[in-house]
Amino acid sequence: MTCDELELLLPEGADDPAVQAHLAQCASCLQSAEVLAAAAQPPLSPSEKAKLGGLSSAVQSQWVRLQHRRGRVQQVLGLAVAAALGAVIASGVMWKLNPARPAPQPLAVEPRAQPQVLVVLEDASPLAADDESSFEVSWPSLNEEGDVL
């Protein structure tokens, strides 16, 4: 058995008599065996074994919870898809039932608002707004001096 062949039997084959015989004569392989033995982890402690005993039920309950959640998500997704399909179908039906709708009118372009022009009041007679003057001028029973005719 060569050193390379022996290395491939480690670490679980270290108790084999042929391996032991080789290790007794080969310091290099003995070091490899010791390194691999040291690299191995210590055996499970009682507390670790106890915790491991509950792993199955923990995984199972978690799995059930995940499947319920998956079912709810699928249900919601299904409802959403059904609602969207229903909306599409309903709009199609509505379109078919009311086909004679007027063609859409092009949007009218509103004229731009003109700036406001101030009314010039200079042409208006000043007497027109003065009731008393107008009364005096147009009163038929008075002469120019204001005497009653």
Partner 1 sequence: MSSQSPRAALRLVPVGPRSDSGLCRDFLTGDAGAFGELVRRHQEVVFRLLRRYTRTADDALDLSQRAFLQAFEAARRSLPRLQQGAVEIPFRAWLLRIAVNLAKNQARDASKWPAAPVEAIDAEGQSEAAPAHEQLVRLQREALTRQAVLQLPRRQREVLTLRVDGGLSFGEVASTLGITEGNAKTHFHYAVKRLREEIRKLAPDALEDK
Is 14:33 a contact under the CB 8 Å cutoff? yes
Give the C-alpha separation, 97 to 100, whole Å: 9
Task: Using alpha carbons, select from 120, 139, 119, 137 the residue that is nearest to residue 128.
Answer: 137
* Site residues (CB under 8 A) for partner 1, limited to 58-117: 58-60, 62-63, 66
- Fill in the amino acid letter for 128: A
Q: How far apart are the first and last CA of the chain?
A: 162
Binding of partner 1 at residue 25 (CB under 8 A)?
A: no
> How open is the CA angle 14-16-17, to the nearest 5 degrees?
120
Binding residues with partner 1: total (CB under 8 A): 34
Q: Is 40 in the site for partner 1 (CB under 8 A)?
A: yes
Cβ distance to partner 1 smaller for residue 63 or 95:
63
Mark the segment that binds partner 1 (CB under 8 A) among 28-36, 82-90, 94-102, 120-128.
Answer: 28-36
The 3-state DSSP class for residue 142 equals strand
Residue from 51, 68, 69, 72 binding partner 1 (CB under 8 A): 51
Q: Determine contact, residues 141/148, Cβ cutoff 8 Å.
A: yes
Q: Which of 56, 98, 105, 116 binds partner 1 (CB under 8 A)?
A: 56
> Minimum Å distance from CB 102 to partner 1?
55
Which residue, 59 or 89, is less far from partner 1 as judged by CB?
59
Question: Under the rule (CB under 8 A), what is the footprint of partner 1?
Answer: 4, 7-8, 10-12, 27, 30-32, 34-36, 38-45, 47-48, 51-52, 55-60, 62-63, 66
